[in-house]
Amino acid sequence: MSLQGKGFYIWQIKNCEGGNPESIAAKAQAAGLTHVLLKIADTTFAFGFDRNNNDITAPVANALRNRGIQVWGWHYVKGNDPAGEARIAAQRTRQLRLDGYVIDAEIEYKAAGKAAAARAFMNELRAGLPNLPIALSSFRYPSYHKELPWREFLEQCDLNMPQVYWEQAHNADVQLARSVTEFGNSALVGFVRPVVPTGAAYGASGWRATPDDLRAFFSKAQELGLEAANAYSWDWATSPGNTDLWDAVAQVNWATETPPLPSRDIATDYFTALNQRDLDSLLALYQPNAAHVTAKRTIVGAEAIRDYYTDLLFNILPDAAFTLLDSTGQDPSRLFTWSATSARGNVIDGNDTLGLRDGLIQYHYTRFSLSG
């Protein structure tokens, strides 16, 4: 999985383009959005139904997908019933065939004892959504919110989506830079994950974001080399008197890369290189500043990735035969499962996610266990 470009959060579909799925999809496409994030649940309850209990989220998700726009779901959780919250998350995500899922964990998760709740939630969530990209959306500065169980959430997340809301100020770029720096500090958050920040496209308590704020936010995101960024919320930014905020985001020219050649199958190339023990060919599949991520660590750059494959192919699984079991997704997001047999052990549960940029791997998350 990888997100590239601009996204917008939707809270209540009925407040966006009159709730019309085709109008929402058309407006998203015209604005150059690559993804839209829809609210799908609140604590243990499904979200996105009208007064007659009709699901109004599914038609919007379908309309967006039909225009090539990724659809992610977001879910406000409190941790009072973590297993119940995880079950509704998995159920709703599967029903809607979403491309990714976002955990919105805020002040309730700062209460004492919530680390255990976060761990229970993530374990249940991953059991229900073993292959889907998952992101955490929470406070912008972890240094201000050390009580929140960052480690327990981020350990099993693929992305970090901090809410960089510059309320009562107009220095969006400065606040974004600080947020990215703090989330790059494993001492603060436990696990470093690629950042896809969300900026403010709303007003509160007499303050209101400005078009210049949003332009500065998205410009800084690109300057920092982030793959994607979001705005919250579509509902507010398209309401009467506030459409200048929507227009500001729509006019941002996000420098998306040239898509890879359709004839290339990077999963096949990857497993060919693995079975040939060809480190140079493996490294050629990655961007120079690519990130390789496991549940325990993140490494960045060609040298560190070469060291990883040297250890994997010549120490952990020497002479292994690697088999690609299944490959899904469309560029720039690829997911695949795999197995391996070796004199030193076998893998039957290999599960990887690739995020591609310009046909090469920018982000690689791998999960597997070695058995005798």
Task: Render 305-366 in DSSP notation, one character per residue.
Answer: HHHHHHHIIIIISTTPEEEEEEEE--TTEEEEEEEEEETTEEEEEEEEEEEEETTEEEEEEE
Domain locations in the chain as residue ranges: 5-250, 266-367
Predicted confidence (pLDDT) per residue in 275-328, tens digit? 999 999 899 999 999 999 998 999 999 999 999 999 999 999 998 999 998 888
For residues 6-25, give the mean pLDDT: 97
Residue entry with tokens 């420098």: 255
Amino acid at 103: I
pLDDT, mean over the chain: 93
Host H or E run for residue 83? helix 82-96
pLDDT-above-70 percentage for the chain: 97
CA atoms of 107 and 260, how far apart (whole Å): 42
Pairing of strands 298-300, 321-328: unpaired
Pairing of strands 298-300, 286-293: antiparallel
Q: Above 60 in pLDDT, residue 264?
A: no
**Contact in structure between 197 and 229 (CB atoms under 8 Å):** yes
pLDDT, tens digit, 9 for 90 and up, residues 206-229: 999 999 999 999 999 999 999 999
| Cα torsion through 302, 307, 310, 313, rounded to 10 | -90
Predicted local confidence at residue 151, as pLDDT: 97
Q: Are 5-250 and 266-367 equal in CATH topology?
A: no
**Arch. (CATH architecture) of 266-367:** Roll (3.10)
- The confidence score (pLDDT) of residue 40 equals 98
The mean pLDDT of 123-141, rounded to a whole number, is 96
CA–CA dist 259, 237 (Å, integer) = 30
Q: Which of 242, 250, 238 has its CA nearest to residue 13?
A: 238
Percent above pLDDT 90 for the chain: 86
Summarised one tens digit per residue, pLDDT across range 235-262 is 999 999 999 999 999 999 986 543 433 4
pLDDT for the residue 268: 85
CB-based contact 14:51 (threshold 8 Å)? no
Count CA atoms closer than 13 A to 308's CA, side-chain side: 20
- The predicted structure's pLDDT at residue 261: 38
Q: Is the pLDDT of residue 263 over 50?
A: no
pLDDT the model gives residue 257: 47
User: What is the pLDDT at residue 256?
Assistant: 56
Say what the pLDDT of residue 329 is.
Answer: 77
**Residue 317 token pair:** 């699984």
pLDDT confidence of residue 326? 86
pTM for this one? 0.70
Across 357-362, average pLDDT:
89
Mean pLDDT of 46-59: 96
Sequence-ordered list of residues with C-beta below 8 angstroms from that of 24, at least 6 positions apart, any chain: 10, 13, 16, 17, 36, 60, 63, 64
Q: Is the pLDDT of residue 171 over 90?
A: yes
Q: Given pLDDT bands bounded at 50, 70 and 90, which one contains residue 359? A: confident
| Cα(262)–Cα(363) distance, integer angstroms | 20
Average pLDDT over residues 140-159: 97
| Spatial distance between the Cα atoms of 319 and 196, rounded to a whole number of angstroms | 38
pLDDT at 328: 81
Measuring CA to CA, how many Å separate 136 from each of 75, 131, 147? 10, 16, 15
Confidence tier at 266 by pLDDT (50, 70, 90): confident
Fold of 5-250: TIM Barrel (3.20.20)
Q: What is the pLDDT of residue 267?
A: 87
Cα–Cα distance, 215 to 209 (Å, whole number): 11
Contacts of 368 (CB under 8 A, 6+ apart): 338, 347, 349, 350, 351
pLDDT band at residue 100, thresholds of 50, 70 and 90?
very high
